[in-house]
């Protein structure tokens, strides 16, 4: 039985379990659902764990790992890699685009902009792209990653500087990818998908850190756009295939036992572990291209309707990924498998991975909220690098399941509420709108205030939605 009293406050906004290597960043431990705490404790017992299994204030129940979790294992000493610690939507992530326009310059065009975006960017569960590739062309594109998008005219050279890992995972291979994964993915590049994925037209509503905002070229009342999507059916099938493989070999071949079958895993440096890493990286390349093609289509719409070419990437980050990184923990150097499941990097100022433009402020952190309230821009900190392996939260976090939302929220009332706030919606289905209603999520401001006050990322700006495209 889960006992909340087994978590003790060791620091403001930080609770640690007395018997397990589990930490939660939260203002009130009673606000965490028992199911997700159980999952966190299960993660804390994974073979080869270094440090704590860490939960962010957006923690909620997920597959295997709770969503909003970071766990690092020792690659060189049979530390495991678990697809449940990455998620089915590999490299699901967020990209923020800035324009040089203010709200009053686009207000009369808003509905037309949304109509055009909805037409240009396919959305919905089975949505397919207007970009048709043969199987061999698809393979070439994904192996090249964002470089393919650059060659094909979907990207500008400067775009690559502002994408995590420059939008390209080199250690990737199609050798271990099923035909089903290829078939599911090859017609989905440049599509949003469904669920919580979106393309949102936003306004910079408030600036908290003038200097950081200036470095990011953000200003009050500025028109920006946020893209949230990932690797679609391609990544989902890869995750499914490797979970099934790991379930077969985990106990029989590697004598690994876990608290929950959804934590299926193998040593990261094993044959199966390396195959998964190369396959996961392919899905990451897919997701980078996916967000890039959507960016291209956004630029197309703004050029057509407003004759502006200035739609630039602020930053692009993943929150469903594992990376192999050198890291010093407790004065000892490790090669770590960094699982981030619904968590994002928050690298500090002067980290070598940052573009020169952002060296002095730290890595931009993008935290989407819900479609009825606000999203946030933050920056990474030294505290995060020391305490959380350089990570922070990734979003608001659900408080109602999709089924609960559909059963308890009135569609007409929801639409009226959004319209009263000046928020227009374009969606493939009513069900998606209900599933993603603001009432289904925690208040992102509370989540962001916790990570800000815990100093694992610092607030820069608040973004207000004025139009949303959803699947």
Q: Which residues are catalytic?
A: 394
Q: What are phi and psi of 157, to 5 degrees?
A: -55, -35
Listed in order, strand segments (DSSP E) in 269-423 are 311-318, 320-329, 332-341, 344-345, 364-367, 375-379, 391-392
**Contact present, 316 and 164 (Cβ < 8 Å):** yes
Q: What are phi and psi of 314, to 5 degrees?
A: -75, -55
Distances (CA, A) of 28 to 5, 12, 453: 12, 10, 14
**Contact present, 211 and 193 (Cβ < 8 Å):** no
Distances (CA, A) of 210 to 100, 206, 215, 380, 464: 17, 10, 9, 16, 18
**Contact present, 435 and 197 (Cβ < 8 Å):** no
- Quote the CA–CA distance of 453 and 446 in Å, as a whole number: 10
Helix H or strand E encompassing 24: strand 22-24
Check residue 206 and give left, alpha or beta (phi > 0: left; psi -120 to 50: alpha).
beta
Structure tokens at 415: 């639409």
In three-state secondary structure terms, 227 is: strand
Looking only at the bridges linking them, the beta strands covering 458-470 and 198-207 are antiparallel
**Contact present, 357 and 215 (Cβ < 8 Å):** yes
């Amino acid at each position: 039985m889960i006992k909340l009293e087994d978590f003790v406050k060791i620091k403001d906004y930080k609770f640690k379990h007395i018997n397990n290597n589990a930490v939660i960043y939260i203002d009130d431990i009673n606000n965490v659902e028992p199911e997700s705490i159980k999952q966190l404790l299960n993660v804390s017992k994974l073979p080869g764990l270094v440090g704590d299994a860490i939960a962010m204030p957006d923690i909620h129940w997920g597959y295997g790992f709770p969503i909003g979790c970071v766990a690092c294992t020792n690659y060189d000493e049979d530390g495991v890699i678990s697809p449940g610690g990455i998620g089915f939507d590999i490299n699901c992530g967020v990209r923020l685009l800035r324009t040089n326009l203010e709200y009053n310059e686009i207000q009369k065009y808003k509905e037309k902009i949304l109509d055009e975006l909805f037409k240009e960017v396919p959305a919905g569960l089975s949505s397919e792209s207007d970009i048709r590739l043969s199987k061999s062309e698809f393979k070439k594109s994904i192996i090249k990653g964002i470089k393919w998008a650059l060659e094909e005219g979907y990207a500008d050279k400067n775009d690559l500087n502002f994408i995590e890992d420059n939008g390209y995972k080199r250690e990737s291979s199609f050798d271990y990818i099923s035909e089903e994964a290829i078939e599911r993915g090859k017609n989905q590049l440049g599509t949003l998908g469904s669920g919580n994925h979106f393309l949102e037209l936003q306004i910079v509503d408030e600036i908290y850190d003038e200097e950081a905002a200036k470095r990011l070229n953000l200003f009050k009342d500025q028109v920006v756009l946020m893209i949230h999507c990932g690797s679609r059916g391609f990544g989902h099938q890869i995750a499914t295939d490797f979970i099934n493989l790991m379930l077969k070999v985990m106990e029989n071949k590697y004598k690994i036992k876990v608290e929950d079958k959804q934590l299926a895993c193998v040593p990261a440096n094993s044959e199966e572990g390396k195959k998964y890493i190369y396959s996961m990286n392919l899905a990451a390349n897919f997701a980078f291209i996916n967000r890039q093609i959507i960016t291209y289509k956004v630029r197309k719409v703004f050029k057509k309707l407003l004759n502006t070419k200035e739609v630039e990437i602020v930053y692009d980050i993943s929150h469903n990924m594992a990376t192999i990184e050198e890291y010093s923990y407790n004065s000892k150097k490790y090669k770590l498998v960094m699982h981030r499941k619904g968590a994002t990097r928050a690298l500090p100022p002067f980290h070598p991975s940052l573009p020169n433009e952002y060296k002095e402020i730290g890595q931009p952190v993008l935290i989407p909220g819900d479609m009825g309230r606000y999203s946030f821009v933050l920056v990474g900190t030294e505290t995060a690098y020391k305490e959380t392996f350089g990570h922070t939260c990734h979003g608001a976090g659900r408080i109602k399941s999709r089924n609960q939302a559909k059963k308890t929220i009135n569609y007409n009332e929801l639409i009226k509420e959004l319209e009263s706030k000046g928020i227009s919606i374009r969606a493939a289905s009513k069900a998606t709108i209900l599933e993603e209603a603001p009432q289904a999520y925690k208040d992102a401001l509370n989540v962001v205030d916790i990570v800000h006050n815990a100093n694992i990322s610092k607030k820069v700006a608040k973004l207000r939605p004025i139009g949303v495209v959803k699947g």
